[in-house]
Structure 1
Amino acid sequence: MPQKPLRIASVNVNGVRASFRKGMGEWLASREVDILAMQEVRAATDDLTGLLGDEWDVVHDPATAKGRAGVAIASRRRASIHRVELGDTDFDTAGRWLEADYEVGERIVTVVSTYVPTGEADTPKEVEKLRFLDAMEARMPRLAEHSALALIVGDLNVGHRTLDIKNWKGNVKKAGFLPVERAYFDRFVGAEDDPAYNTGAGLGWIDVGRKAAGEVPGPYTWWSQRGKAFDTDTGWRIDYHLATQALAETVVSYTVDRAAAYDERWSDHSPVVVDYAI
């Protein structure tokens, strides 16, 4: 009998306690997720484990500043090891980078939950964001060496291509779509004019969402809470699954769980759910 695919979901929960009050628990109960990566948890570990329940093993890197950021990975199986290992020893990830290894059969799957800083053009916040992306770029080859089945998921706060932002023309000078930010993704998965784009170019990682969707707008994963952005689907695709080539080859399903209506949302991001036939 074929083994059930490993279902890995990622979502910026925008405060996990608020999300559970608005319906996250009902979504999670219905989706048969094996590994759940969360960003912007904004809660203590006890809060997180209390909301999820005893059936979940939870690893958590809380933010340095209380009530901000925080990344976590919850799994139906216990992590064999977890670590925060980004940049020099004095680099404080501030609750933005967490790695965990999981045994799947006889293989190890490494999952990273990350929340890249939002940044702000021409400010120290953008310097912080670029420093984080530098550290991420340096870490990615070592992750691939550590595990052939490695996956970086989360809110990366960058739309790589014009396909990834509905109103890209109005955002070319804003954080999230700056050329200097998008250049990192050229190095991660290749530039769109590279013949090997998303098939081994750059550092060799695969943008699972773009591979699954093809050359179409979106599918978007975040919408502003202001105005009618959600209703008109004026969104950004900034939540990613970046996989090593070996792991990307196992993808059998990719879904953005977009709420049916604005008032049914429990976060300003939608979960990205991917099945890996490992």
Structure 2
Amino acid sequence: MSVRIATVNVNGVRAAFRKGMGDWLNTRGIDILALQEVRASTEDLEELLGPDWNILHDAATAKGRAGVALASRSTAEIHRVSLGADDFDTAGRWLEADYKIGDKILTVVSTYVHSGEVDTPKQVEKFKFLEAMQERLPELAKHTDYALVVGDLNVGHTELDIKNWKGNVKRAGFLPQERAYFDRFMGPAGENVTGPDGSTGTGLGWVDVGREAAGQVPGPYTWWSWRGQAFDTDAGWRIDYHLATPALAALASNYTVDRAESYDTRWSDHTPVVVDYNL
């Protein structure tokens, strides 16, 4: 059975639907849809998506901010929203669900990592979140061989993931310390990994499905600023990911970045990233 999974930061789901998201969704045959920056109520999601979707939604503590959701054609067996220490507010940023696919348990996480800002509390929160992810990923891999973390992770992992990487090495989203977490996430399982900031840690063995599909080439980018000519010149960032356990990554095909045909047909500053998993 092939399961088509899409992730997209909608930058406000109501605005995205006004601009044409529904037309995209109606033609893509998506089975599981992960959303970030929903910025709306569960009732809004139900109205926009319609009765054919089973919806899980974790809203942010602050109304109108963040918010993650999972919508599927089948009902989740169980879902979880906690991440990290009890005093760490991850509301609207981490949502897990288990789906029964044949005789397999497929765990899908929709996540929205903080954007961060150097030398501010926002960056502290971002590092807390990345640290919590580092602790949670091995637990997910133990839970099932078929686990997938998708969403806007707000970090360009390597120089291939940002068009203007040289101008961003001291900015949130491409800091060596941030990228070191990704080196550990995707490093060989159990092996010692040294990050670009000189830190060391143990590789967790997860697979960046997008990089595996594209190879060692620039992009394909998934986010472009609304400002200037970033979209037209493809001066983007690849910050929307499918991170899979090795067993699930081996079943991936048809990795696609659904880039809009033109600036004026965009319905978000991010683009959907779609992958088929032959379970």
Where on the TM-score scale, by shorter chain, does this alignment land: which range? over 0.9
Report the Cα distance in structure 1 between the residues aligned to 2:87 and 2:25, rounded to whole angstroms.
36
Q: Does 1:160 align with 2:157?
A: yes
Q: Given the alignment of the two structures, is residue 48 of structure 1 paired with residue 45 of structure 2, yes or no?
A: yes
| 3-state secondary structure, aligned to 2:255 | strand
- How far the C-alpha of 1:131 sits from its partner, in A, is 0.5
In the aligned structure 2, how far is the partner of 1:161 from the partner of 1:228?
23
2:222 is matched by which residue type in structure 1? T
Output aligned runs, 1:244-255, within 5 Å: 244-255=245-256
Rounded Cα–Cα distance in structure 2 between residues aligned with 1:211 and 1:264: 29
Q: Aligned letter for 2:43?
A: D
How far apart are the structure 1 equivalents of 2:187 and 2:222? Answer: 21
For residues 120 and 90 of structure 1, the distance between their equivalents in structure 2, rounded to whole angstroms, comes to 21
Q: TM-score, normalised by structure 1?
A: 0.95
Give the CA deviation at 1:187: 0.3
The alpha carbon displacement at 1:92 in A equals 1.6
Residues 129-208 of structure 1: matches in 2 within 5 Å?
Answer: 129-190=126-187, 202-208=203-209
Asked whether 1:122 is paired with 2:119, we answer: yes
TM-score calculated relative to the size of structure 2: 0.94
Which residue does 2:74 correspond to in 1? 77
Distance 2:246 2:187 in 1: 13
Structure 1 residue identity aligned to 2:61: T
**What amino acid is the match of 1:204?**
G
**Cα distance in structure 2, aligned partners of 1:253 and 1:204:** 22
Aligned-partner residue type, residue 238 of structure 2: R
Equivalence map 1:87-98=2 (5 Å) = 87-98=84-95
- Shift of residue 253, structure 1, vs aligned partner: 1.2
**C-alpha offsets along residues 247-277 of structure 1, whole Å, 9 cap, x if unaligned?**
0000121000000000000000000000001
Q: Secondary structure in 2 aligned to 1:129?
A: helix
> 1:273 — aligned with what?
274
Query: How far apart in 2 are the matches of 1:217 and 1:139?
Result: 29
Taking the aligned partners of 1:74 and 1:7, their CA distance within structure 2 comes to: 12
2:103 — aligned with what?
A: 106
Q: What is the distance in 2 between the residues matched to 1:106 and 1:277?
A: 13
For residue 244 of structure 2, what is the amino acid of its counterpart?
A
| C-alpha displacement of 1:245 | 0.2
Q: Distance in 2 between matches of 1:105 and 1:24?
A: 30
- State the alpha-carbon separation in 2 of the partners of residues 14 and 83 from structure 1: 23
Code of the residue aligned with 2:100 in structure 1: it is: E
Provide runs of 4+ in structure 1 moved above 3 Å. Answer: none
- Could you tell me which runs of 5 or more consecutive residues in structure 1 were left unpaired when the two chains were aligned: none
Match of 1:219 in 2: 220
Partner of 1:26: 23
Unaligned runs of 5+ in 2: 195-201
Amino acid of the structure 2 residue aligned with 1:223: W
Listed as ranges, the matches of 1:259-270 within 5 Å are 259-270=260-271
Superposition deviation, residue 85 in structure 1: 2.4
**Bigger shift: 231-240 or 85-94?**
85-94
1:229 is aligned to 230
How far residue 5 of structure 1 moved from its aligned partner, in angstroms, is 1.3
Q: CA deviation at 1:89?
A: 2.3
Q: Give me the CA root mean square deviation.
A: 1.6
Q: Which moved more, 1:6-15 or 1:86-95?
A: 86-95
Cα distance in 2 between the residues matched to 1:147 and 1:238: 25
- Residue 133 of structure 2 aligns with an amino acid whose one-letter code is M
Partners in 2 of 1:213 and 1:167 — Cα distance? Answer: 19
- In the alignment, the residues of structure 1 paired with residue 61 and residue 261 of structure 2 have an alpha-carbon distance, to the nearest angstrom, of 35
In 1, distance between residues paired with 2:143 and 2:211? 25
Partner Cα distance (2:253, 2:240) in 1:
19
Alpha-carbon offset, residue 48 of structure 1: 0.6
CA shift for structure 1 position 117 = 0.3
2:145 maps to a residue whose letter is A
**CA drift at 1:91:** 2.1
The answer to whether the aligner puts 1:63 opposite 2:60 as a matched pair is: yes
Give the counterpart letter for 1:105 in structure 2. G
What is the CA-CA distance between 1:90 and the residue it aligns to? Answer: 2.5
Q: Which amino acid aligns with 1:233?
A: D
Tell me what 1:243 maps to: 244
